A and B are shown apart, each in its own frame.
Chain A
Amino acid sequence: MTSITKPQVRHPGLKKNALGFTQRDYEGAMSTLCAGCGHDSVTAALVQACFELALPPHRAAKMSGIGCSSKTTAYFMRESHGFNSVHGRMPSVTTGANAANRDLTYIGISGDGDSLSIGLGQFCHAIRRNVRMLYLIENNGVYGLTKGQFSASADVGSTSKKGETNVQPPIDPVLLALTLGATFVARGFSGDKAQLIPILKAGLSHNGLAMVDIISPCVTFNDREGST
């Protein structure tokens, strides 16, 4: 979770939104993820989506658990409160925050380990409750921070960096969310900003839980021969 402050120098001709903010105002600390990480593209898409929606940064709260995905809440909207909680428990913290203040825009960022393994129960129950939030899963099929173990979304037959083959079937968050009666379900790809930004904007405007599963490649541990 190391973060480096970005220089605040701006081009005077930057476009402003309805609130008078530029896109740069929606940025956060410098990312410390691996170069080429799909998650950084998701962050960039979020910055643009929030800018275009003219979301007041201080009226948004960024919620996360633990893992590479959860670090990204530091990398956008520096004037928003952020809560990097415990592994797999972001949904309950967001539920509580929502109970206390329902006027904020809650952006929850999770990963496949955080939401489909340790936090599967909380993921399901947040959907059941239809907690008002954007719930992103930055899904890369692998545990990055602990260096390359299979996650619960790894495909059968994919091989790990250490050469093991995954034999357990993956959990598909989209199918799961649908069976739980989710009110907004989408899947995007971190590399397709043109598709992702409208999805994020729609999710942010949804009055309920908007679950977006974003395929986001791990360039370090899930980008080799045998990766799926």
Chain B
Amino acid sequence: MSGVNDFAFRMATVNGTGSASANSLLMQAIFRMGIPVTGKNIFPSNIQGLPTFYDIRVSKDGYTARPQEMDLVVTLNPSTYAKDVAAVRKGGYLLYDSSWPLEPDLVREGITILGIPFGKMCVENFEGDRNRTLLRNIVYSGALAAFLSIDMEVVGQMLTEKFSKKKGLLEANRRAIQLGFDYAKAHFECPLPFHLDHMDATGDSIIIDGNSAAALGAVYAGATVGAWYPITPSTSLMEAFTSFCKKFRTEPETALARYCIIQAEDELSAAGIAIGAGWAGARAFTNTAGPGISLMQEFVGLAYYTEIPAVFFDIQRTGPSTGMPTRTQQADLLSLAYASHGDTKHIVLFPCNPEECFYMSVKAFDLADRFQTPVFVASDLDIGMNDWMCKRLEWDDSYRPDRGKCLTADELESVKKFSRYLDAEGDGIAARSLPGVHGHGAYFVRGSGHDKHGTYTEDADAYQEVVDRLARKFRLAATAVPAPEIRTVKGAKVGIVSLGGCHAAVLEAIDRLRDMGIVADYMRIRGFPFDAPVRAFLDSHAVNFVVEQNRDAQLRSLLAIETGKPRDEMIPVLDYGGMPLTAMCVVNAVSGHLSKPSAKRSPRKKKKASA
């Protein structure tokens, strides 16, 4: 139930009207009031004219998952009136623009309808169509400040920061915010029963999106080459990397860029550039989404087989094909784990929020170098593009990149015959040599069959020796990827397994399930390949639920294939409509399954259980 510092509200607007920045301002103001807050931008694959929604959840307990229902909806887009009204919880509020008569669509029993003539107020107070459209967002923000007790001083301060260089705009925005605020105060009882009250719970936190955090990680890891092809929702990662590099990687004296960012002609080329740079010794990466991953398959196989490091950020969106480019999903799991033709397996990291995007980005570059292989970071649209409140990022300046086994000129000097793929130390990782370092290290990279010396071969044993070593190397990687996060509770009978962006909703669901008497342990997969603790967790519970955002239970398949745990002993909880997961989705699936009479028996007999 909603209450002080515990509620959710939605702004339903038309995209391209400037509402995004007003909504973001509201979220940041709440954050500055010291109250945990989350914002989810649900936007269309379009530049102007289609419906867009921004959901803000305020949670004194720090829950950050997408809210299930809205206490208040601001409805400013006639084309979504019906949907907006339906989103309001029973007893909730609807705020509409009363410049026009109340549409029948907006009438609903059991909710309170608030009307403010935003449009009329803007026409009366401001000049110019574009200006009026933009400022309408600020007027409703002012009204919300009154309804929800958003600190007007904080809002005023933020406007000053935002428009410090544009005094005219600052003045208009200040007037607009006050107009909305005053109107609400004068005409309605403010604040509403659910509202804000200053807290001190965000002091060690920041607001950041996952793509910016991942880009920052790439900077800290020492990446110098970035290649990409624009694609939603990964574009902002390279944009962030570009701006960080301009700031931190440009030599002040010479203005020389110590980095190279290339917008390629397509994703094939982007992958090729990253791999070429990785081969030549740089830390290189590319960022993309599902369609780009499809195009990169051939190069991924080349890098796997020839053992060249490169990092691939996959900001997953809803597939298949073009799918829904501005909706989230976790449906690339299998295509990442086994990307490319032939026997291939890849290291994949699964950040659950922007904070982890930062740390895992750094980790990905280290793993790529150490294991001389492509490494995927499987983020998603919700993590990548939405603003999240997370712990302040920390950095240890003693960090040194793990470049793996890379022979120096001195080491190569004494080498008589360099064998690129010789497992000299028995760990499955062969030393590599970089071009230009020493003639003794010269070898011929070939995606065709090669033996341990790197020489072309069509010999069965020589070929197998190399691919078997690759498998050994991959097994070793299981101990190097981030270990699963395991939370156990005394008396837990069921296990919940999940990954990535599901984390916030699953944590909340575990609390709600406990309220219902269902005690669950939790394992969050953070990396692939899986190490022994993953199977051990699955074996220690009679029932395991696997929560993920795709149709085909891909994580469950991956667990079954790689750990040998029978697939049907794991109950899938699936949510794949493209929206961030809600706790209720998990609660309903788990409690629903457990309340079925058949659930009392062995889970082995439960063939068709699903969410």
Taking beta carbons and an 8 Å cutoff, which residues of A are in contact with B? 1-3, 57-59, 61, 73-74, 78-86, 89, 91-101, 103-104, 121-122, 124-125, 129
A104 to B436, alpha carbons, bound, how many Å?
A: 7
Cβ of B262 and Cβ of A86 under 8 Å apart?
Answer: no
A21 to B282, alpha carbons, bound, how many Å?
A: 30
Cβ of B447 and Cβ of A121 under 8 Å apart?
Answer: no
B468 at the interface (CB under 8 A from A): no
Known: A85-B447, A86-B447, A97-B279. Is A104-B273 also a contact (CB below 8 A)?
no
Closest to B437 in A: A58
Closest to B286 in A: A96
A121 to B272, alpha carbons, bound, how many Å?
A: 13
The distance from the CB of A173 to the nearest CB of chain B, in whole angstroms, is 17
Interface hub of B225, B302, B445 (most chain A Cβ within 10 A):
B445
Q: Which residues of A contact B268 (CB under 8 A)?
A: 89, 92, 122
B448 at the interface (CB under 8 A from A): yes
Interface hub of A61, A82, A89, A91 (most chain B Cβ within 10 A):
A89
Q: Which residues of A contact B272 (CB under 8 A)?
A: 85-86, 89, 91-93, 95-96, 122
Closest to A62 in B: B444
Interface hub of B260, B433, B436 (most chain A Cβ within 10 A):
B436
Q: Which residues of A contact B443 (CB under 8 A)?
A: 81-82
Q: Which residues of B contact A103 (CB under 8 A)?
A: 436
Known: A1-B448, A80-B442. Is A97-B276 also a contact (CB below 8 A)?
yes
Q: Which residue in B270, B273, B280, B456 is a CB contact (below 8 Å) of A101?
A: B280
Closest to A84 in B: B446
Q: Which residue in B262, B278, B298, B438 is a CB contact (below 8 Å) of A95?
A: B262
Cβ of B269 and Cβ of A58 under 8 Å apart?
Answer: no
Cβ of A97 and Cβ of B302 under 8 Å apart?
Answer: no
Cβ of A92 and Cβ of B456 under 8 Å apart?
Answer: no
The distance from the CB of B284 to the nearest CB of chain A, in whole angstroms, is 6
Cβ of B456 and Cβ of A83 under 8 Å apart?
Answer: no
Cβ of B281 and Cβ of A101 under 8 Å apart?
Answer: yes
Closest to B283 in A: A100
Q: Which residue in B265, B302, B436, B444 is a CB contact (below 8 Å) of A86?
A: B302
Q: Which residue in A59, A73, A91, A95 is a CB contact (below 8 Å) of B444?
A: A73
The distance from the CB of B472 to the nearest CB of chain A, in whole angstroms, is 25
Cβ of B266 and Cβ of A121 under 8 Å apart?
Answer: yes
Closest to B259 in A: A99
Beyond A58-B441, A101-B280, A104-B435, list 15 extra A-B contacts (CB 8 Å).
A58-B437, A58-B439, A80-B435, A80-B439, A82-B442, A83-B445, A84-B445, A86-B302, A89-B268, A92-B273, A95-B272, A100-B224, A100-B280, A125-B264, A125-B269
Cβ of A89 and Cβ of B299 under 8 Å apart?
Answer: yes
B422 at the interface (CB under 8 A from A): no
Closest to B272 in A: A92
What are 7 A-B contacts defined by CB distance under 8 Å?
Answer: A2-B458, A81-B436, A84-B448, A89-B272, A92-B273, A98-B280, A99-B225
Q: Flag B277-314 by CB within 8 Å of A: 1 or 0 each.
A: 11111101000000000000011001000000000000
Closest to A56 in B: B439
Q: Which residue in A57, A79, A96, A129 is a CB contact (below 8 Å) of B284?
A: A96
Q: Which residues of B contact A101 (CB under 8 A)?
A: 280-282, 435-436
Taking beta carbons and an 8 Å cutoff, which residues of B are in contact with A? 224-225, 227, 260, 262, 264-266, 268-282, 284, 298-299, 302, 433, 435-448, 455-456, 458
Q: Which residues of B contact A81 (CB under 8 A)?
A: 433, 435-436, 441-445
Cβ of A93 and Cβ of B273 under 8 Å apart?
Answer: yes
Interface hub of A61, A80, A95, A124 (most chain B Cβ within 10 A):
A95
Cβ of B302 and Cβ of A122 under 8 Å apart?
Answer: no
Interface hub of A1, A2, A84, A99 (most chain B Cβ within 10 A):
A99
A96 to B271, alpha carbons, bound, how many Å?
A: 9
The distance from the CB of B430 to the nearest CB of chain A, in whole angstroms, is 16
Known: A96-B227, A96-B284, A101-B281. Is A58-B436 also a contact (CB below 8 A)?
yes
Q: Which residues of B contact A58 (CB under 8 A)?
A: 436-439, 441-442
Cβ of A99 and Cβ of B277 under 8 Å apart?
Answer: yes
A191 to B275, alpha carbons, bound, how many Å?
A: 35
Q: Which residues of A contact B299 (CB under 8 A)?
A: 86, 89
Interface hub of A73, A79, A97 (most chain B Cβ within 10 A):
A97
Q: Which residues of A contact B227 (CB under 8 A)?
A: 96, 99
Q: Which residues of A contact B281 (CB under 8 A)?
A: 100-101
The distance from the CB of A189 to the nearest CB of chain B, in whole angstroms, is 28
Q: Which residue in B275, B302, B437, B456 is a CB contact (below 8 Å) of A96?
A: B275
Interface hub of A58, A79, A91 (most chain B Cβ within 10 A):
A58
The distance from the CB of B459 to the nearest CB of chain A, in whole angstroms, is 11
Closest to A83 in B: B445
The distance from the CB of B513 to the nearest CB of chain A, in whole angstroms, is 49
Cβ of B302 and Cβ of A85 under 8 Å apart?
Answer: yes
Known: A61-B436, A81-B436. Is A100-B456 also a contact (CB below 8 A)?
no
A135 to B278, alpha carbons, bound, how many Å?
A: 21
Cβ of B276 and Cβ of A92 under 8 Å apart?
Answer: yes
Q: Which residues of A contact B298 (CB under 8 A)?
A: 86, 89
Q: Which residues of A contact B435 (CB under 8 A)?
A: 61, 80-81, 97, 101, 104
Closest to B226 in A: A99
Q: Which residues of B contact A95 (CB under 8 A)?
A: 262, 269, 272-273, 276
Cβ of B442 and Cβ of A79 under 8 Å apart?
Answer: yes
A103 to B224, alpha carbons, bound, how many Å?
A: 16
Q: Which residue in A2, A57, A83 is a CB contact (below 8 Å) of B439?
A: A57
Known: A96-B277, A97-B435. Is A84-B262 also a contact (CB below 8 A)?
no
Closest to A93 in B: B276
Q: Which residues of A contact B279 (CB under 8 A)?
A: 83, 93, 96-97, 100
